[in-house]
Chains A and B, each alone.
Chain A
Amino acid sequence: MPIETWLTFLLGFMILGSIVALEIKDILSSIVAIGVVGLAVSLAFLFLQAPDLAVVQFLFEIFALIILVRAFIRKDFHVMERASSGRWIIGFTLIGLAAVFLLSLKVFRVLPPFGEPLMETSRYYLEHGAADTGAANIVAGIILDYRAYDTLGEVTVLLTAILGTLTVLRFRARDGKGGGR
């Protein structure tokens, strides 16, 4: 089977899973459905020849699942009786989003077709990456050598997000020994 068929199937599955996750009443089922969507994304990365991303997406999906379950699933948690807005708002939102979808279909025709990327910078990376960086994994060569500054910014964003989380949760390192102010 050509790769387009697989990817179409996977994307349809993802859309279905997302709708289920958003519309189902039970929160635990909702979170699990999101986990399934994330694993489908990981599978799609595998089909798209991106094993780096598949590994990372798989692991992060498991971790996100654990975080969400840890945060939101309680014994005394009750299902919300009206989780959605009113019927009018939903109707208008659906119409608006459908209009956006139909109007933007033309944009995708302008983009380079699937399977034929432009690869202007990447051609250089692929040809000279191994000699320039000495890394067999060209993706690692890009994120940690050619574009390491970008990665520094990413580490900073991660630090900020985690510090924000710890601050919001009033977390303190409580065993003395430095830290924990």
Chain B
Amino acid sequence: MTLYALCFALFLVGLYGLLTKRDLIKIILSSGIMGYACNLMLVLFGYRRGGVYPILERGREAGPMVDPLPQALVLTSIVIELGVTALLAALAIRLFQKYRTYDITKIRRLSG
């Protein structure tokens, strides 16, 4: 319960940055923070008390394991997040090349 709330607080910190920052780099970093919070929240849902990691080993009897499904989903999500970060960074440096600034308010003004 506390953990979920803290994770949600992390998400909201990212949202705060996304809404108030003018710097494109800070905005990209904020979206990254939101991604961390989402991934962590999904894995938190799948934790099972006393469970071990969902990998079978030779010579270890199968005890209770944590939920592997959120882990599988988050594994792909992390990769996509990196791809999106790269795309956003590319867009940002293209904008910088054109307008010589990372300030979104100035970029808006220049576009006329």
| Residue contact B29 to A30, C-beta cutoff 8 Å | yes
A168 to B80: give the CA distance in the assembly, Å: 18
Chain A CB within 10 Å, residue with most, of B20, B51, B56, B94: B20
Of residues 14 through 38 on chain B, the ones whose CB sits less than 8 Å from some CB of chain A are 14-17, 19-23, 25-26, 28-30, 32-33, 36
Please name all residues of chain B whose beta carbon is closer than 8 Å to the beta carbon of A68 when the two chains form the complex. 25, 28-29, 85, 89
Contact count band on A:
35 or more
Residues of A43-97 contacting chain B, CB below 8 A: 44-45, 48-53, 56-57, 60, 63-64, 67-68, 71-72, 80, 82-85, 89-90, 93-94, 97
Chain A hits for B7, CB < 8 A: 11
Q: How far is the CA of A158 from the CA of B82 in the complex (A)?
A: 9
B74 within 8 A of A: yes
CA distance A166 to B2 in the complex (A): 42
Q: Which among B4, B13, B78, B93 is the interface contact of A72 at CB below 8 angstroms?
A: B93
Partner of A71, one of B14, B67, B92: B92
B107 at interface, CB cutoff 8 A: no
CB < 8 Å neighbour of B16 from A94, A108, A150: A94
By beta carbon, the residue of chain B nearest A89 is B20
| Chain A interface mostly | helix
Contacts of A113 in B (CB 8 A): 1
Verify A15–B9 contact, CB threshold 8 A.
Answer: yes
The answer to whether A11 and B10 have CB atoms under 8 Å apart is: yes
Whether A115 lies near B92 (C-beta < 8 A) is no
Known: A50-B66, A138-B54, A139-B75. Contact between A97 and B16, CB under 8 A? yes
Q: CB-CB < 8 A to B73: which residues of A?
A: 150
A126 touching B43 by the CB < 8 A rule?
A: no
Contact B83 A157 (CB under 8 A): yes
Q: Knowing A63-B82, A64-B82, A101-B9, say if A85 contacts B22 (CB, 8 Å).
A: yes
Return B57 CB to nearest CB of chain A, in Å: 7
What would 12 A/B residue contacts be, using CB atoms closer than 8 Å?
Answer: A15-B10, A18-B17, A30-B25, A48-B46, A84-B21, A85-B22, A114-B1, A115-B48, A115-B49, A119-B67, A136-B55, A138-B55
